[in-house]
Amino acid sequence: MRPATALLLASTMLAATPAFAQTAAPAADAAPDEATIVVFGRGETRQVQEIKAQEIVVLTPGTNPLKAIEKLPSVNFQSADPFGNYEWSQRVTIRSFNQNQLGFTFDGIPLGDMSYGNHNGLHITRAISSENIGSVRVSQGAGSLGTQATGNLGGTVETFSADPTGEMGAQGNLTYGSNDTVRAFARLNLGTRDGVRGYVSYGYGSTDKYKGQGKQDQHMAMPR
């Protein structure tokens, strides 16, 4: 056989050799049951910050809750009295938006602009004692459309009352200061084994008038 013919036959046999697939890798062991991660939360499309009750109770008893949020960025609160309860002198701004451009609510109820003598709501210090506040949420920038406020162009301040603890107990405090300033607060917490819970509170405040003779008194009772 000629060398050229032998070389051609060898090449043909090599080309006709069947190809075999690679040996399959052994199957991996079944993965154990993976843990399920559940995240509870609520998306926010704006800057929202919250002050809890633990940060409010460290203030002088009876202090306006708006005074507690003045430490937040872009929030400015001014008042002529140390408690921040003198409505006529009180001013609050958020990112330079005036008070009448902000929305204020209490447990979802509109409070108007909380200015002195307003016709569309009332001041937060007339609605609830500071000891009964659970949290205050501040929305900087345009407030949520879902907020039931008369104005929320510059942001919203939402105040929420504290939930009952469900444990029997009582708490109280007493404050005394210059100009015969007296403030007292007492709360009775209720709770039963059947899950019934609630509380009832009473607050009293008194001080001399800033001009002339007489007293300024405030009585506030709140059941829940």
Q: pLDDT tens, 64-81?
A: 888 889 989 889 998 888
Q: How confident is the model at residue 43 (pLDDT cuts 50, 70, 90)?
A: low
Could you tell me the CA-to-CA distances from 102 to 37, 51, 142, 145 in Å, in that order? 38, 18, 9, 13
Q: Which two tokens stand for residue 33?
A: 């049951």
Q: What is residue 194's predicted lDDT score, i.e. its pLDDT?
A: 82
CA distance 98 to 39: 37
Phi, psi of 43 (to 5 degrees): -70, 145
pTM for the model stands at 0.72
Question: Would you give the DSSP letter of residue 5?
Answer: H
Q: What is the mean pLDDT of residues 49-75?
A: 89
